[in-house]
Amino acid sequence: MTKFTPEVLLSAPRRSAGVPNADGSSVLYTTSTYSFETHAKTVELRSLDTKTQESRLLLQDNSVSEPLWLPGKKEVYACLKSEDKGKTSILISMIMAGSSWKESTYTAGSIDAPASSLKITQLSDDSYAVVVAAQSSPDGSLYNAETAPKTHSTGKLYKSLFVRHWDDYVTPQKNSLWYATLTRAKDGKFELSKWVNALKGAGLESPVPPFGGTDSFDVSKAGIIFVSKDPKANPALSTKCNVYYIELSSFTEDPAPKPFEYTTKGFKGASASPVFLPDAKKAVFLSLSGAGYESDKSQIFLVEDLKKDSVKRLFNQKAEGSLDKSPQNLVFSHDGKTLYFSAEDQGYGRLFALTSDPTSGEVLRALTDTGYVSDIHPLSNGDVFYTSSSLVDYSSYSIIGTSKSDSQAAKWTHSSSKDGSSLGLKASQVSSIRTPASDTTVNKTVHSWVYKPSNFEEGKKYPLALLIHGGPQGAWGDSWSTRWNPAVYAEQGYVVITPNITGSTGYGQAFTDAIRKDWGGAPYNDLVNVMDWVEKNMPEVDMTRAVALGASYGGYMVNWLQGHDLGRRFKALVCHDGIFSFAGGLLATEELYFPFHDLGGTPWYSPSANQTTDDAEQVFGKTRLVQRITRDWYIWKPAEYDNDGSRKPPNNWRSIFGGSVWEWDELTQEYYLHLFCPEQPDINWENEEARKTIYQSAMISWLDKGVDGFRIDTVNMYSKPVGLPDAPIKDPTAQWQDAGLVYCNGPRMDEYLGEMNAILSRYNAMSVGECPFTPDPARILGYVSEKEARLNMVFQFDSVDVGIGSAHRYMTTPFNYTLADVKSAIRRTQGLIDGTDAWTTSFIENHDQPRSISRFGNDSPQWRSRSGKMLAMLFASLSGALFVYQGQEIGMINIPKEWPIEEYKDVDTIGYYAEVVRKNPNDTKAHDETKAALQHLARDHARTPMQWSSQRNAGFTSESATPWMRANTSAQEGINVADETNDHASVLNFWRQMLKLRKTHAEVLVHGNFKLIDDDNPSVFSFIKTSPDTQSKAIVVCNFSDKESKLPTIDGLSSSNMLIDNISEAGTKDQSMLQPWEARLYIST
776 lies in the same domain as 889: yes
pLDDT interval class at 316 (50, 70, 90) = low
Write down the pLDDT at residue 646.
78
430 lies in the same domain as 565: yes
Write down the pLDDT at residue 157.
84
Beta-sheet strands, E only, within 480-524: 495-500
Write down the pLDDT at residue 156.
83
Q: Cα-flanking dihedrals φ and ψ of residue 301, to 5°?
A: -115, 150
Render pLDDT for 422-437 as a digit per residue (tens, 0 to 9): 999 999 999 999 999 9
Write down the pLDDT at residue 607.
30
- Let me know if residue 353 belongs to a domain: no
Q: CB neighbours of 489 closer than 8 A, spacing ≥ 6?
A: 451, 465, 467, 496
Long-range pairs for 747-752 at CB < 8 Å and ≥24 separation?
Answer: 747/719, 747/721, 747/722, 748/685, 748/686, 748/718, 748/719, 749/716, 749/718, 749/719, 749/783, 750/782, 750/788, 750/790, 751/719, 752/685, 752/691, 752/718, 752/719
Q: CB neighbours of 160 closer than 8 A, spacing ≥ 6?
A: none
Q: How far apart are CA 151 and CA 241, in angstroms?
A: 33
The strand pairing partners of 283, in sequence order, are 276, 303
Write down the pLDDT at residue 590.
74
Q: How many domains does the chain have?
A: 4
Catalytic site includes residue 713: yes
Cβ contact 572:474 at 8 Å: no
Q: pLDDT exceeding 70 applies to what percent of the chain?
A: 94
- Let me know if residue 743 belongs to a domain: yes
What DSSP character marks residue 895? P
Q: Average pLDDT of 540-550?
A: 97
CB burial of 33-65 (b: ≥16 within 10 Å; e: otherwise) equals ebeeeeeeeebbbbbbebeeeebeebbebeebb
Cβ contact 394:12 at 8 Å: yes
- Secondary structure (3-state) at 929: helix
- Let me know if residue 1072 belongs to a domain: yes
Write down the pLDDT at residue 598.
83
Please give the model's pTM, rounded to 2 decimal places: 0.60
Confidence check: pLDDT of 624 > 50: no
What number of CA atoms fall less than 13 Å from residue 666's CA on the CB side? 5
933 lies in the same domain as 1022: no
Render pLDDT for 900-937 as a digit per residue (tens, 0 to 9): 999 999 999 998 999 899 989 999 899 989 999 999 99
Q: Average pLDDT of 1000-1021?
A: 96
803 lies in the same domain as 832: yes
Arithmetic mean of pLDDT over the chain:
91
Write down the pLDDT at residue 606.
31
910 lies in the same domain as 997: no
Task: Look at phi and psi of residue 611 and say left if phi exceeds 0, alpha if psi is from -120 to 50, else beta.
Answer: beta
Write down the pLDDT at residue 530.
98
Domain end, chosen from 73, 97, 112, is at 112
Write down the pLDDT at residue 844.
97
Confidence check: pLDDT of 881 > 90: yes
Q: How far apart are CA 462 and CA 541, in angstroms?
A: 5
Beta-sheet strands, E only, within 488-562: 495-500, 541-551
Q: Report the first-to-last Cα separation within the chain, whole angstroms.
A: 89
CA 594, distance to chain mean position in Å, is 5
Structural domain that includes position 856: 692-865+884-972
Q: Average pLDDT of 513-521?
A: 92
Alpha helices in 877-976 (DSSP H): 907-919, 924-937
- Let me know if residue 675 belongs to a domain: no
Kindly tell me the number of DSSP H helices and DSSP E strands found in the chain: 23, 55
Report the chain's C-alpha Rg in angstroms: 37
> Mind giving me the DSSP string for 794-818?
EEE-TTTTTT--SSSTTSS-TT-S-
Confidence check: pLDDT of 897 > 90: yes
Beta-sheet strands, E only, within 940-991: none
Catalytic site includes residue 770: yes
Higher pLDDT, 757 or 598: 757
Higher pLDDT, 410 or 739: 739
Amino acid, single-letter form, for residue 879: S
714 lies in the same domain as 823: yes
Confidence check: pLDDT of 378 > 50: yes
816 lies in the same domain as 959: yes
Exposure of 874 by Cβ count < 10 A (0-12 exposed, 13-18 middle, 19+ buried)?
A: buried
What number of CA atoms fall less than 13 Å from residue 87's CA on the CB side? 11
Render pLDDT for 71-116 as a digit per residue (tens, 0 to 9): 988 889 999 999 999 999 999 999 876 677 777 899 999 999 999 9
Confidence check: pLDDT of 360 > 70: no
Write down the pLDDT at residue 610.
23
Listed residue (469, 478, 412) closest to 451, CA to CA: 478
572 lies in the same domain as 476: yes
Confidence check: pLDDT of 1064 > 90: no
63 lies in the same domain as 18: yes
Cβ contact 190:108 at 8 Å: yes
CATH assignment of the domain containing 446? 3.40.50.1820
Q: How far apart are CA 125 and CA 183, in angstroms?
A: 9
Listed residue (328, 337, 367) closest to 350, CA to CA: 367
Relative to beta strand 164-165, strand 190-192 is unpaired
Domain end, chosen from 67, 92, 112, is at 112
Least-confidence region, from 406-410, 505-509, 592-596 = 406-410
Q: Average pLDDT of 375-381?
A: 96
Render pLDDT for 577-614 as a digit per residue (tens, 0 to 9): 887 777 677 777 777 778 777 876 655 433 322 222 22
Q: Cα-flanking dihedrals φ and ψ of residue 225, to 5°?
A: -115, 140
Which residue among the candidates 112, 686, 770, 821 is catalytic per the annotation? 770
Q: How far apart are CA 780 and CA 222, in angstroms?
A: 79
In residues, how long is the chain? 1085
Listed residue (684, 663, 655) closest to 620, CA to CA: 663
What number of CA atoms fall less than 13 Å from residue 572's CA on the CB side? 10
Cβ contact 385:379 at 8 Å: yes
- Let me know if residue 227 belongs to a domain: no
Write down the pLDDT at residue 615.
27
CB burial of 1026-1047 (b: ≥16 within 10 Å; e: otherwise) equals bbeeeebbbbbbbbbbeeebeb
Cβ contact 532:546 at 8 Å: no
Confidence check: pLDDT of 630 > 80: no
Render pLDDT for 176-235 as a digit per residue (tens, 0 to 9): 999 999 999 999 999 999 999 999 999 999 999 988 999 999 999 999 999 999 998 878
Confidence check: pLDDT of 642 > 80: no
- Let me know if residue 208 belongs to a domain: no
Q: Average pLDDT of 995-1003?
A: 97
Least-confidence region, from 256-270, 497-511, 792-806, 1056-1070 = 1056-1070
Higher pLDDT, 622 or 523: 523
Give the count of beta carbons closer than 10 Å to the beta carbon of residue 462.
Answer: 19
- Secondary structure (3-state) at 689: helix
| C-alpha dihedral sign at 312, 317, 323, 325 | positive
- Let me know if residue 734 belongs to a domain: yes
Element (H, E) at 390: none
Confidence check: pLDDT of 1053 > 60: yes
Write down the pLDDT at residue 616.
26
Q: CB neighbours of 1028 closer than 8 A, spacing ≥ 6?
A: 1003, 1007, 1008, 1009
Q: How far apart are CA 161 and CA 443, in angstroms?
A: 40
Write down the pLDDT at residue 362.
63
Confidence check: pLDDT of 561 > 80: yes
- Let me know if residue 169 belongs to a domain: no
Beta-sheet strands, E only, within 696-784: 709-712, 766-771
929 lies in the same domain as 1031: no
pLDDT interval class at 403 (50, 70, 90) = confident
Cβ contact 390:412 at 8 Å: no
Q: How far apart are CA 575 and CA 520, in angstroms?
A: 15
How many angstroms separate the Cα of 264 from the Cα of each of 219, 224, 301, 434?
Answer: 21, 19, 8, 38
Listed residue (14, 772, 107) closest to 387, CA to CA: 14
CATH assignment of the domain containing 913? 3.20.20.80
Q: How far apart are CA 152 and CA 550, in angstroms?
A: 43
509 lies in the same domain as 569: yes
Exposure of 413 by Cβ count < 10 A (0-12 exposed, 13-18 middle, 19+ buried)?
A: middle
Task: Look at phi and psi of residue 924 and say left if phi exceeds 0, alpha if psi is from -120 to 50, else beta.
Answer: alpha
1039 lies in the same domain as 915: no
Cβ contact 592:927 at 8 Å: no
Render pLDDT for 121-157 as a digit per residue (tens, 0 to 9): 999 999 999 999 999 999 999 999 999 998 888 888 8
Domain end, chosen from 74, 95, 112, is at 112
Which residue among the candidates 279, 713, 726, 1015 is catalytic per the annotation? 713
